[in-house]
Amino acid sequence: MYKKLFLPALLFVCFIGLAQKADKSDPAILTIAGEDVSKSEFERVFKKNNTKETNYDRKSVEDYVQLYINYKLKVKEAMEQGMDTAKSFVDELAGYRKQLAQPYLVDKDVTDNLLKEAYERMKRDVRASHILAKCNPDALPKDTLEALQRINIIRDFVTGKAIDQKQLSEYESTVKKSLNAHSTKSDSAEVDKKIKGLKDLAAQKPSSSEERFALAAKLSSEDPSGKENGGDLGYFTALQMVYPFESAAYNAKPGEVTQPIRTRFGYHIIKVTDSRPAQGEVKVAHIMVKAAATIKGDDSTKAVKKINELYDSLKAGKSFDELAQKYSEDQGSARQAGVLPVFGTGRMVPEFEKAAFALKNVGDYSQPVRTAYGWHIIKLLEKKPLGSYEDLQSDLKQKVSKDSRAELSKSSMIKKIKAKYNFKEMPKAKDEFMKVIDSTLSAGKWTADKAAALKNTMFTLGDKNYSQKDFAEYIASHQSKRSETNAQALANNLYNEWINESALAYEEAKLDAEYPEFKSLMQEYRDGILLFELTDKKVWSKAVKDTSGLQDFYNKNKNNYMWGERLEAKIYTCANADVAKQTRSLMKTIDDDDTLMAKINKTSQLNLSVKYGKFTKGENDIIDSIAWTPGITKDMKKKDQVVFVDVIKKLAPQPKSLEEAKGLITADYQSYLEKEWIDQLRKKYPVVVHKEVVETIIKK
């Protein structure tokens, strides 16, 4: 983290592109350690690291030439010391490369469409119910079939059809066949539970479509919340559900039941029950009293009485902030006067959300509201409508990149890479490889030596061949225990993952050649990291660790760190005039301030405070207001208190001690060390400034 904070500061002098021999149309402006730096390169970095209105006057250009020389000399020295080959450097640069490459490894057109689609959906909140039949993303075909059969039977029921007994029998036969010698009692119980759920459903005679869906969710959905809410998910908006689910909900008409939708959780059927314009976001504060359902042994009657008393206090004009701080039982928000983070649709329990968005004006507060957490009084602090696309674009981009829909952009890019580099598979080589796959892969114990005799190419991409040996090594390093999944299916999934990762890696390796701006950025990060490491070693850490060098620097330059005139004094702050009088009286016999305060503050710790110090002009308004002569001043009123000062003596200007000015002295010592270092580098490496080229940049 420390390094990353310094990196941007170092990059302010980073150059764009590698130094190379300049040609006549682009002459060298500098020659540093035998390497030419072209005029165009210097101009690019000069413009990049200045304001929009870059100043090309003589001083600006010539000053920057010197900065640039210093930068290049440091990079040269880091290279000479072999710092670019250190493992820590190589690993860190590789990490940065992965981050910087990400925007180049997605289909920008697809991403832009996804961003716009998400924003359009955010204009509307959808309320929907769902029923889930669980199914793992890499489930065996028989398990996928079982989940699909079951969700279709449930869908028949919720759409008003009678459950076909033949269909039910076929499902029962299918699911029981999934049991084998390795099945546990738990597996058998789970099968019985699924069958019973469908049979119970078949026996129901609901009167409405709403009742049908709620019954099906309670009896058959594998979303645990279905038993409580009948499948009702409340209102939600874009980017709150997995993408396939969200798309199905936003594309469905209110009242209709969708066809089964596959997500990473399994198969869903969805029924949209309402749609409304987006509510935007609100910021609220609340006062909360926990109720019987949330606190063991609590008395709900007491909770109701307490929240009503608080509500009556608010109506009588008491401060919401003070009541929240004193009485709210949400400890996290009580310290902030009940203030909660900004939230939008689907972020709070429905009762709380509904009450918060119902408040019309800033400062309005609700009547007591009951939720599963207790009782709340909610105060509106701010209402924020949905921002414009331009305002939200950056946030949307970040959210979409972490959302399952990002796979669409990635998949599209992989498809383009394959076409661009003439991807070609060798099916026979794949079939040959699959023969060495066995059950050890499901156990996560497959070894590459099983494929030791296999050498053939499995696919080609551009000028590179990817062999069976490569795939064996990929499997060995990417496998994990998945005993519930067929080994051949696992191997096939790994094969597809290997192809996709290889395609992206191949394109990433080409980025420097295809995108000059990426190459330049990587060069900046590379040199910035090198510069940090070497500067830390030569300047920053050295100045901190070299205590004798720092002391010597201070001794030679102590007169640069002077105190001005100061007043050594004690400020006595008293609660009132009587305390001031008592303090003055006791000061005649007590000369120890701690003893004095102990005696005066017996009845209250707020009676007397004493502040000793050596004060400079402008540091303290009381010290500035008195005569700087020894003795005790008269009493002075300061708000509700009485203050007087015991002036000890006036101090003449003197050097600050090393400890008193250590931060400033250390910074100056670092500057000194850097100057000395630069002088050494300029002597070590020859530098030639081509003044005639510099002149062509200066705008007279």
Return the CATH class of domain 565-652. Answer: alpha beta
Nearest CA to 475 out of 444, 502, 435, 503 is that of 444
Note every long-range contact of 301-306, with CB atoms under 8 Å and residues 24 or more positions apart, other chains counting.
303/374, 303/375, 304/368, 304/375, 306/375
Question: Is the confidence at residue 52, as pLDDT, over 80?
Answer: no
**Cα separation, 544 vs 532, whole angstroms:** 16
**Cα separation, 284 vs 340, whole angstroms:** 6
Strand partners, 608: 574
- Provide mean pLDDT across the span 17-25: 50
- Provide mean pLDDT across the span 334-338: 93
Question: Is the confidence at residue 158, as pLDDT, over 90?
Answer: yes
Return the CATH class of domain 124-277. Answer: alpha beta
Output the six-digit token pair for 553: 């620097």
Burial of 424 (0-12, 13-18, 19+ CB in 10 A): exposed
Q: Which amino acid is at 251?
A: N
Angle at 301 between CA 300 and CA 303, to 5 degrees: 60
pLDDT tens string 265-319? 999 999 999 999 999 999 999 999 998 665 555 557 888 989 999 999 999 999 9
Output the six-digit token pair for 294: 């949330």
| Residue 430: partners with Cβ closer than 8 Å, 6 or more residues away | 458, 495
Highest mean pLDDT among 37-41, 192-196, 225-229, 676-680 belongs to: 676-680
Question: Is the confidence at residue 15, as pLDDT, over 50?
Answer: no
Strands (E), 592-640: 608-616, 631-632, 636-638
Query: What sections of 52-107 are H helices per DSSP?
Result: 58-80, 87-101
For residues 407 and 436, the answer to whether their CB atoms sit within 8 Å is no
Q: Which amino acid is at 289?
A: V
Distances (CA, A) of 59 to 37, 65, 432, 681: 20, 10, 71, 23
Angle at 267 between CA 262 and CA 273, to 5 degrees: 95
- What is the pLDDT, as a whole number, of residue 22? 46
Q: Is the dihedral of CA 188, 190, 195, 197 positive or negative?
A: positive
**Cα separation, 181 vs 113, whole angstroms:** 50
Output the six-digit token pair for 6: 């310094």
Tell me, rounded to whole angstroms, the distance of Cα 687 from its chain centroid.
44
Output the six-digit token pair for 489: 């299916």
Q: If you write DSSP's letter for every residue of 46-61 in order, what string do you get?
A: HHHTS-SS---SHHHH
- pLDDT top residue among 128 and 521: 128
- What is the pLDDT, as a whole number, of residue 8? 38
What's the whole-model pTM score? 0.70
For residues 690 and 574, the answer to whether their CB atoms sit within 8 Å is no
Residue ranges of domains in the chain: 1-80+516-561+661-700, 124-277, 281-385, 421-511, 565-652
Average pLDDT, the chain: 90
Question: Is the confidence at residue 193, as pLDDT, over 50?
Answer: yes
Reported as a pLDDT band with limits 50, 70 and 90, residue 508 is very high
| Residue 549: partners with Cβ closer than 8 Å, 6 or more residues away | 542, 543, 669
- What is the pLDDT, as a whole number, of residue 14? 40
Q: Does domain 281-385 have CATH number 3.10.50.40?
A: yes
pLDDT tens string 56-97? 889 999 999 999 999 999 999 999 999 999 999 999 999 999
Q: Which amino acid is at 423?
A: F
- What is the pLDDT, as a whole number, of residue 21? 46
Of the given ranges (13-17, 86-90, 245-249, 471-475), which has the lowest mean pLDDT?
13-17
Query: What sections of 159-281 are H helices per DSSP?
Result: 165-177, 185-202, 209-220, 226-229, 243-251
Output the six-digit token pair for 628: 């700087």
Of the given ranges (164-173, 177-186, 508-517, 522-531), which has the lowest mean pLDDT?
177-186
- Provide mean pLDDT across the span 119-135: 96
Asked if domains 124-277 and 281-385 share a fold, the reply is: yes
Q: How many alpha carbons lie under 13 Å from residue 153 in its C-beta half-sphere? A: 28
pLDDT tens string 611-624? 999 999 999 999 99
**Cα separation, 188 vs 173, whole angstroms:** 13
- What is the pLDDT, as a whole number, of residue 296? 53
Question: Is the confidence at residue 113, as pLDDT, over 60?
Answer: yes
Burial of 493 (0-12, 13-18, 19+ CB in 10 A): middle
pLDDT tens string 574-618? 999 999 999 999 999 999 999 999 999 998 888 999 999 999 999
